[in-house]
């Protein structure tokens, strides 16, 4: 199972692009509403999540994804369920992915120590112990980080490559008319 956590104030493009791409690839993806089933993005778009926090089972999760956005990132970090899911995924060797401001959650948990990561400009100091870059996407160990909304498609396709293989992800990207594929 792949969980995408949505908290009020999440960045819509960063959340829904990975959901869409991974579902096109045949992955089992569930959105999780932090604080309820209907969550409103940072630009006023309401989304009905597949699950509520209480329905999350972290055992055997394949990946946990945290979209950025404000105050969505802060709301994700306040959730004990989100923190527990991220820590369980990291401990179990599952993939942990975060984009924009959300890598700060990983940094505050001490998970990026010794890793390379990227984030929205200005959040670098929140990625404690990481070597930060300005790249659109970074993969370091089992952590995947993305820079921001403009990198959402590259981020989603990289997640697809990691989970389903490069050839299958490139084929989906090409079918979606992603430039360069």
Range of the domain at 88: 2-171
Q: What confidence score (pLDDT) does residue 91 get?
A: 96
Which pair of structure tokens corresponds to residue 98? Answer: 């975060």
Please write the tens of the pLDDT for every residue from 64-100: 999 999 999 999 999 999 999 999 999 999 999 999 9
176 found inside a domain: no
15 found inside a domain: yes
180 found inside a domain: no
**pLDDT of 58 above 90:** no
Q: Are 112 and 130 in contact (CB under 8 A)?
A: yes
60 found inside a domain: yes
178 found inside a domain: no
177 found inside a domain: no
**pLDDT of 181 above 90:** no
**pLDDT band at residue 59 under the 50/70/90 scheme:** confident
Average pLDDT, the chain: 97
Which pair of structure tokens corresponds to residue 78? Answer: 């306040």
d(CA 152, CA 18): 7
CA dihedral 148, 150, 153, 158 (to 10 degrees): -50
179 found inside a domain: no
Which pair of structure tokens corresponds to residue 59? Answer: 């055992």
CATH number at residue 163: 3.40.50.880
91 found inside a domain: yes
Q: What confidence score (pLDDT) does residue 180 get?
A: 86
> How many domains does the chain contain in total?
1
């Amino acid at each position: 199972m792949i969980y995408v956590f949505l908290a009020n104030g999440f960045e819509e493009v960063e959340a829904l692009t990975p959901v869409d791409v991974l579902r096109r690839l045949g992955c089992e993806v569930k959105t999780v509403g932090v604080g309820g089933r209907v969550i409103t993005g940072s630009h006023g778009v309401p989304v009905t999540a597949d699950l509520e926090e209480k329905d999350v089972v972290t055992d055997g999760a394949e990946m946990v994804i945290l979209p950025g956005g404000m105050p969505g990132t802060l709301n994700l970090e306040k959730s004990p369920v989100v923190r527990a899911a991220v820590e369980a995924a990291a401990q179990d060797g599952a993939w942990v992915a975060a984009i924009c401001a959300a890598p700060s959650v990983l940094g505050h948990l001490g998970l990026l120590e010794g890793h390379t990561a990227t984030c929205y400009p200005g959040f670098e100091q929140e990625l404690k112990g990481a070597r930060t870059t300005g790249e659109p996407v970074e993969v370091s160990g089992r952590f995947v980080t993305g820079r921001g909304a403009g990198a959402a498609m590259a981020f989603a396709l990289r997640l697809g490559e990691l989970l389903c293989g490069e050839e299958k992800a490139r084929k989906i990207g090409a079918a979606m008319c992603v430039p360069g594929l």
